[in-house]
């Protein structure tokens, strides 16, 4: 997924193809609310020194519970579902029409300072003005802080300690647990009814997906992402969500990936290289939607497209149980309904 695909100016909005099942559409059905649905009162949380060991093996420390939290948008959205508010965000947050990006989840984007909305954009001045206590983000490659520009990274990390959590090369339950651990360290109540209900919903959806894959064997799934000149086929085992889906029995196309190991780039003339029965399409702002591909004849000839077996994929899931459970459930439904067409 990094870096070539991340260099897009923004991420794409949800757009379902006619007759397609919307995996992303289910995301709005579950999650936090403006009142901080999943947490107790952070003011009642510990007031002494705070520390958290991240997935780089580094421990972030502050003299007291962090109040001025700045986070990558997806990380902020996950924390929000546990009732943890942030002051600033960086990453895809606001679309061109001023609405919340799909990666913002339940965040009220009018209540956070956006210090960067696209890849490579990070206002150090705005960040410093927030007097940050801690910076939180994802990690797709070892020791690389997602959406923190390399040319200003040293200056940024001098202002506050950083925490990076894996978004690749581990399974979804681990990624979910790590965000829950982080939220707990910041004062969230993981025993709150909405949190436990969301986790139960995730486990139920996982069981459904496992059963669907077993009941409808042989359905080949392709992870796609479209740009005007190229079509990208992703490797399922690298991302936390699709690695987990593999573990549950979903069969994915295996592309010949590039040196970074995340995807293979295909010209539109070669888009049919990998036969597939079901296509999960990258739904980030800035990538082309199925409805945008009418001028690509090779796309229209794909068996999965003809069969209307194309569904959106939230390529960067918001790792809270509340946000992930609907994704798993919707994929289970897609597998249940899919026909072998490749």
What is the predicted pLDDT for the residue at 321? 98
Per-residue pLDDT of 314-334, as tens digits, reads 889 999 999 999 999 999 999
pLDDT above 60 (res 5): no
Q: Is the pLDDT of residue 7 over 70?
A: no
Per-residue pLDDT for 11 more than 80?
no
pLDDT band at 9 (very low <50, low <70, confident <90, very high): very low
What are the tokens at 298? 């090779």
- pLDDT higher than threshold 70 for residue 100: yes
The per-residue pLDDT for 284 is 87
Give a three-class secondary structure readout of the chain: CCCCHHHCCCCECCCCCCCCCCCHHHHHHCCCCCCCCCECCHHHCCCCCEEEECCCCCEEEECCCCCCEEEEHHHHHHHHCCCCCCCEEECCCECCCCCECHHHCCCCHHHCEEEECCCCCCCHHHHHHCCCCEEEEEECECCECCCCCHHHHHHHHHHCCEEEEECECCCHHHHHHHHHHHHHHCCECCCCHHHHHHHHHHHHHHHHHHHHHHHCCCCEEEEEEECCCEEEEECCCCEHHHHHHHHCCCEECCCCCCCCCCEEEEEHHHCCCCCCCEEEEECCECCECHHHCCCCHHHHCCHHHHCCCEEEECCCCCCCHHHHHHHHHHHHHHHHHCCCCC
What is the per-residue pLDDT across 34-46, written as a single tens digit (0 to 9) for each? Answer: 444 333 444 445 6
The pLDDT of residue 4 is: 37
**47 — pLDDT class (breaks 50, 70, 90):** low
């Amino acid at each position: 997924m990094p870096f070539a695909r991340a260099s897009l100016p923004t991420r794409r909005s949800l757009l379902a193809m006619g007759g397609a099942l919307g995996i992303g559409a289910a995301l709005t059905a579950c999650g936090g609310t403006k009142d901080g649905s999943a947490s107790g009162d952070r003011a009642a949380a510990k007031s002494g020194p705070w520390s958290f060991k991240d997935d780089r093996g580094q421990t972030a420390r502050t003299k007291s519970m962090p109040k001025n939290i700045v986070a990558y948008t997806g990380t902020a959205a996950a924390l929000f579902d546990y009732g943890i508010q942030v002051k600033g965000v960086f990453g895809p947050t606001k679309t061109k029409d001023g609405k919340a990006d799909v990666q913002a989840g339940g965040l009220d984007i009018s209540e956070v300072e956006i210090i960067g909305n696209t890849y490579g954009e990070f206002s150090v001045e705005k960040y410093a003005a927030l007097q940050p206590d801690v910076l939180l983000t994802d990690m797709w490659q070892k020791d690389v802080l997602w959406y923190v520009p390399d040319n200003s990274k040293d200056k940024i990390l001098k202002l506050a300690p950083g925490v990076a959590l894996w978004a690749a090369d581990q399974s979804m339950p681990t990624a979910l647990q790590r965000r829950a651990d982080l939220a707990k360290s910041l004062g969230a109540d993981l025993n709150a009814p909405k949190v436990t209900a969301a986790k139960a919903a995730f486990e139920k959806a996982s069981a459904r997906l496992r059963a669907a894959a077993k009941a409808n064997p042989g359905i080949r799934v392709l992870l796609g992402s479209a740009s005007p000149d190229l079509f990208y086929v992703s490797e399922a085992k690298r991302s936390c969500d699709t690695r987990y889906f593999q573990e549950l029995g979903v069969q994915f196309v295996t592309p010949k990936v590039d040196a970074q190991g995340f995807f293979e780039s295909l010209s539109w003339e070669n888009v049919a290289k990998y036969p597939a029965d079901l296509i999960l399409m990258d739904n980030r702002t800035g990538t082309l939607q199925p409805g945008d591909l009418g001028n690509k004849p090779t796309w229209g000839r794909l068996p999965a497209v003809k069969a209307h077996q194309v569904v959106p994929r939230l390529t960067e899931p918001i790792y809270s149980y509340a946000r992930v459970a609907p994704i798993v459930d919707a994929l289970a439904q897609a597998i249940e309904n899919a026909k072998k067409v490749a």
